[in-house]
Amino acid sequence: MAFQDNPGFARRTLLAGGGAAVLAAPAVHAQGSAASAPIKIGLVAVLTGPAASLGTHLRDGWMLGMRHLDTKLGGRRVETIVIDDELRPDVAVTKVRAALERDKVDFVVGVVFSNILGAIIRPVTDSGTFLISTNAGPSTLAGRGCSPYFFTTSYNNDQVHSVMGQVAQDSNYRRVFVLTPNYQAGRDAVAGFKSKFQGTVVDEVYVPLTQMDFSAELAKIASLRPDAVFTFMPGGLGVNLVKQYRQAGLATIPFLSTFTVDEATLPAQGEAALGFYAAASWAPNMDNPANQAFVRDFEGVYNYVPASYAAQSYDAARLLDSAVKKVGGNFTDKNALRNAIAAADFQSVRGPFRFGINQYPVQDFWQLQVARRPDGRFQTETVRKVLSANIDPWAPECRMPVRI
Amino acid sequence: MNTTLLLVQALNGLQFGILLFLIAAGLTLVFGVMDFINLAHGVQYMVGAYLGATLAAWTGSFWLGLLLTLPATLAFGLLLEFLVFRHFYDRDHLSQVLATFGVILFLNEGMRVLFGTAPMQMPMPAALSGGIAIMDGLLYPTYRIAILAVGLATAALLWFLVERTRAGMLVRAGASNAPMVSALGVDIRRLFMLVFGFGAMLAGFAGALAAPILSVEPGMGDTPLILAFVVIVIGGIGSIRGAFLAALLVGLVETLGRGLMPDLMRLFLDPSAARQTGAALASMLVYIVMAAILAFRPAGLFPARR
C-alpha cells in the first residue's frame, strides 16, 4: 500500500520528517532545500461507516492521480497522509489539526460531506493552508463565506438539483412528484429543483433518513400519475428506492434524480436503475483523452467503475500539479500560489474547466442516464448538455479579497 | 385519498409488519427466555443478508442461496454464542448492552473489510420477479406476496414449536422461571444456546429474504433493530403471539402514518408546513403508540406469564 492507513506508519514518517526538518533548519531560507522536501497532502475522506464507499472513490481517484504523476506535483515528491474523518465533525477537526500542526501538511484535499467541510474549514484556512474540496461544495462557502484559501473541484449542490429542474422544464413535464429525505439537504434539493421547474409539483413527500420500505410513497405516486418523479436519495436510501420503484412497475414514469444513481450505488442497483436519469458535470463515458485515460486506468488498478467523487479528486491532483509547476515548487508567496491554482491550467476529465470569482468551478452540467456497458457493468452516460458554463447562484454574494 | 389507495397502503403496512416480525421473533425469544439484551440481533440480520447474497452468487441460484443461509447463520449464531454471549448470561443488562454493542461495531466493520464498502445486490428469483396490478399503474411485486406468505408460515411454525412441542414447553418454562427449570434437571445452558442459535437463524433468514428489495450494506441492521425492540416491547417480551400482533401494528402505523399524516396535517396547516410536520410526526408515530400502550399495559400486550 502506497498510502498510509496505518497510524503507526504515519508516526514513523512523522519522526523521520521531524528529523529532516531539524537538520534542514539552518538552510530553511535557501530555495534549494524547499524543493527537495516532499510536499505533504492531507487527504480527508470518510473511510468507515455507511458512507465509506464514497470516501473510497474519492481516495482512489486522488491515488490514481498520484500514480499518473509519478507521485510528484510540479516535479516535487509527494507524501499523502490519508485522514479518515469517520463522518464525525469532531474527529475530523482533531485529525486535521494534527495534520496541520504536527505533520505540517502543505495542502488539505478531499472531503465528501459538507458538514465535515464546515467543521474543518476554519482551522485549515486560518493556518494559511489551501483547502481543495473534491466533493463538498456548500452554499455557505460559495457566497458570503467564500475564502481565498478555499477551492473546490466539484460544484455547488444547488446547481446539480437545478439541472434536473431544467430537464423537467425542457421535457415539458407539467406535473412532477417530489420525494426527498426530511433534512436540510433534502429541502435544498427541492428548492434547487423548483428554481428551474415552472410546472406543478403535485406533491412533495419527505421521508426519514432511515427509511427502508418505500411502498407507501410508491402507492401515492401510482395514484397521482405524475409526468415524472424528482428525487434526491443518497446512498442506501437510493438503492432501496430504485429497486422498489422498478419492482412496483413504476419505471414507465421518468425517474429524475440527483445523487441517487451513480457509480457508487449502481453495483447494488444494477438492472433496476437502467434508464433512470441523473445530473452531473462529469460521466465516465465523456469523450476526451484525459477522461479516457482516467477511466481506463482507474478500472485497471481498482477494478470498479469510478464515480464523480473519484473524477473530481483526480482533477484536484492534476490541478495542484499545474499550480506547483507554475510557482516553481515555492510556496512562500501565498498570492502567487493562489493565482496559480485559480488559473486552473490543466486538462480536466470533464473538458472545459475554470474557476469563478468564488473559486468554485464554472462548468457545463449534463443530463445523464444509467446504461449497461458491453462488459456488463453499469455506468451513467451523458444524454445532453443542460447548462453551459454555469455559475453557481451564490457567487454574486461572494466578496473575494484580491490579495490574501 | 380514495379507498383503493387506503387498502393498498394497509397491505403495504401488513407486509412491512411481517418483515418486522421475522426480525423481532428471534429477538423476543432471546430476550424473553434468556433475559438477555442482544443488540447484535440487527447485525445477525445483516450477516444473513450478506451470506444470502454471497451464497446465491456462488451457487447461481436464489433458492439454494436462501436454503444454505439457514445453516450458515445458525452456525454463525452458535459461534457468537460460544465466543461472546455465553460469558454474559449471568452479568447485568448494562454489560450485555456494552458487549453486544461491541459486536455490532466489530461486525459492521468486519463486513466492510470482507465485502468492501459498496452496497451489494441479491437478484430476485426469476419466478417471483413479476407483479400483480393491484391498482391503476401500480404493481404489487410477487416477491412481496411471497414474503407475506413465508412470514405467515413462519409465524404458524413458531406458534406450533413454542406451544405444542416439548422443546417449546421448556422454552416457555425457561421464560417464566429459568432456575426452576434448571432445578428440574434440564440443561438450561444448552437450551439457551439452542434458543440463541435459532434466534440468530431467524434474523439471518429475514435478512436474506429482505436482501432482494433492500440495500445490502454494512449497518443495514441498525434501523430494523430499533423497530424490532419497539415490536417486542409492545407485544410483551418473550411472547411470539405478542410479537406477531405488535409487528403488524407497528408496520401498519408506520406505513399508514407516512401515507396519511401529511394529508391530515393539511387540514390545519398550510401545505408546505403540513408536509414537513406531517413527515416528522409520521416518523414519531410508532413511538407515540408505544408510549401510549405502555402507559396502559406496562408489560406489553401479551406478557409471558411469570
Return the CATH number at B53.
1.10.3470
pLDDT given at position B1: 55
Largest CA distance in chain A: 77
Nearest residue on chain B to A190, alpha-carbon basis? B272
pLDDT given at position A35: 52
pLDDT given at position A18: 41
Query: Which DSSP state fits A82?
Result: E
- In contact, B247 and B235? CB cutoff 8 Å: yes
Largest CA distance in chain B: 67
Strand partners, A384: A367
pLDDT band for position B121 (50/70/90)?
confident
Residue where the block lists cell 430537464 = A167
Q: Are residues A162 and A149 both part of a single domain? A: no
Helix B271-296 vs helix B240-265: crossing angle, to nearest 10: 150
**Within a domain: B274:** yes
> Looking at beta carbons, which residues of chain B come within 8 Å of A247?
124, 129, 131, 139, 141, 143-144, 213
Q: Are residues A148 and A163 both part of a single domain? A: no
Final residue of a structural domain among A280, A312, A331: A280
Looking at every residue in chain B, the average pLDDT score rounds to: 89
Lowest mean pLDDT among A83-87, B25-29, B54-58: B25-29
**Within a domain: A372:** no
| B272/A contact by beta carbon, under 8 A | yes
Interchain contact, A268 vs B8, CB within 8 Å: no
Residues in contact with A48: Cβ distance below 8 Å, sequence separation at least 6, in sequence order: A84, A86, B109, B112
Interchain contact, B220 vs A205, CB within 8 Å: no
- In contact, A268 and A238? CB cutoff 8 Å: no
Interchain contact, B131 vs A265, CB within 8 Å: no
Strand partners, A226: none
Of A50, A268, A269, the CB nearest to B218: A50
**Within a domain: A91:** yes
**Within a domain: A21:** yes
Q: How many domains does chain B have?
A: 1
Supply the range of the domain harboring residue B129: 3-296
**Within a domain: A105:** yes
Supply the range of the domain harboring residue A203: 158-280
Dihedral, CA atoms, A100, A106, A109, A114, nearest 10 degrees?
40
Nearest residue on chain A to B129, alpha-carbon basis? A247
pLDDT at B190 over 50: yes
- C-alpha cell belonging to residue A367: 443530463
**Within a domain: B305:** no
Interchain contact, B118 vs A304, CB within 8 Å: yes
Q: Are residues A190 and A251 both part of a single domain? A: yes
A235: left (phi over 0), alpha (psi -120 to 50) or beta: left
Interchain contact, B275 vs A204, CB within 8 Å: yes
**Within a domain: B49:** yes
Q: Are residues A20 and A149 both part of a single domain? A: yes
- Please tell me whether the overall predicted TM-score, pTM, comes out greater than 0.95 for this model: no
> What stretch of H or E contains A131?
strand A130-133
Q: How far apart, in whole angstroms, are the C-alpha atoms of residue A185 and residue A232?
A: 9
Q: Are residues A181 and A85 both part of a single domain? A: no
| B2/A contact by beta carbon, under 8 A | yes
**Within a domain: A377:** no
Question: Which residues 129-148 in chain B show a CB within 8 A of chain A?
Answer: 129, 131, 133, 135-141, 143-144
- In contact, A279 and A166? CB cutoff 8 Å: no
> Could you give the count of Cα atoms lying within 13 Å of A254 in the half-sphere of its Cβ?
18
Q: Are residues A295 and A149 both part of a single domain? A: yes
Identity of the residue numbered A107: F
Q: Are residues A163 and A151 both part of a single domain? A: no
pLDDT given at position B305: 61
**Within a domain: B302:** no
Q: How far apart, in whole angstroms, are the C-alpha atoms of residue A196 and residue A189?
A: 12
Q: Which whole-number Å values give the CA distances from B306 to A157, B175, B181, B290, in the listed order?
A: 57, 8, 13, 22
Q: How far apart, in whole angstroms, are the C-alpha atoms of residue A363 and residue A155?
A: 8
Of A187, A250, A268, the CB nearest to B120: A268
Final residue of a structural domain among A280, A312, A329: A280
Interchain contact, A213 vs B255, CB within 8 Å: yes
Residue to test with chain A: of B121, B134, B252, most A Cβ within 10 A: B121
Three-state DSSP state, A257: strand
Final residue of a structural domain among A237, A259, A280: A280
| B40/A contact by beta carbon, under 8 A | no
Of B129, B139, B259, the CB nearest to A248: B139
Torsions phi, psi of B299, nearest 5?
-95, 10
Q: Are residues A51 and A172 both part of a single domain? A: no
Q: Is A127 exposed, middle or buried (0-12, 13-18, 19+ CB in 10 A)?
A: middle
How close A156 gets to chain B, by Cα (Å)?
Answer: 24
Q: How far apart, in whole angstroms, are the C-alpha atoms of residue A126 and residue A198?
A: 42
- C-alpha cell belonging to residue B174: 425457561
Inter-chain Cβ pairs, chain A and chain B, closer than 8 A: 139
Q: How many domains does chain A have?
A: 2
**Within a domain: A373:** no
> Looking at beta carbons, which residues of chain B come within 8 Å of A216?
9, 12-13, 255-256, 258-259
Interchain contact, B9 vs A216, CB within 8 Å: yes
pLDDT given at position A333: 95
Q: Are residues A344 and A252 both part of a single domain? A: no
Question: ipTM of this predicted complex?
Answer: 0.83
Q: How far apart, in whole angstroms, are the C-alpha atoms of residue A80 and residue A268?
A: 31
**Within a domain: A32:** yes
Query: Per residue in B91-119, pLDDT tens?
Result: 899 999 999 999 999 999 899 889 887 78
Of B15, B131, B215, the CB nearest to A249: B131
How close A61 gets to chain B, by Cα (Å)?
Answer: 16
How close A210 gets to chain B, by Cα (Å)?
Answer: 6
∠ CA A386-A379-A370, nearest 5°, is 55
- C-alpha cell belonging to residue B185: 434437571
Q: Which whole-number Å values give the CA distances from A74 to A59, A69, A312, A322, A351, in the listed order?
A: 20, 9, 19, 6, 21
How close A40 gets to chain B, by Cα (Å)?
Answer: 27
A180: left (phi over 0), alpha (psi -120 to 50) or beta: beta
Q: Are residues A36 and A104 both part of a single domain? A: yes
**Within a domain: A99:** yes
Q: Are residues A12 and A141 both part of a single domain? A: yes
Query: Which DSSP state fits A351?
Result: B
Q: Which whole-number Å values give the CA distances from A223 to A126, A179, B9, B272, in the listed order?
A: 54, 15, 11, 20
**Within a domain: B82:** yes
Q: Are residues A27 and A138 both part of a single domain? A: yes
pLDDT given at position A199: 95
The low-confidence residues of chain A, meaning pLDDT below 50, are: 1-33
Kindly report the CATH number assigned to the domain that includes residue A217.
Answer: 3.40.50.2300
Three-state DSSP state, A330: coil
Interchain contact, A243 vs B214, CB within 8 Å: yes
| B120/A contact by beta carbon, under 8 A | yes
Q: How far apart, in whole angstroms, are the C-alpha atoms of residue B13 and residue A215?
A: 9
Interchain contact, B255 vs A216, CB within 8 Å: yes
Query: Which DSSP state fits A75?
Result: T
> Could you give the count of Cα atoms lying within 13 Å of A225 in the half-sphere of its Cβ?
3
Nearest to A367, CA basis, from A270, A258, A266, A289: A258
**Within a domain: B306:** no
Of B117, B131, B216, the CB nearest to A53: B117
pLDDT given at position B306: 52
Question: Which residues 64-83 in chain B show a CB within 8 A of chain A?
Answer: none
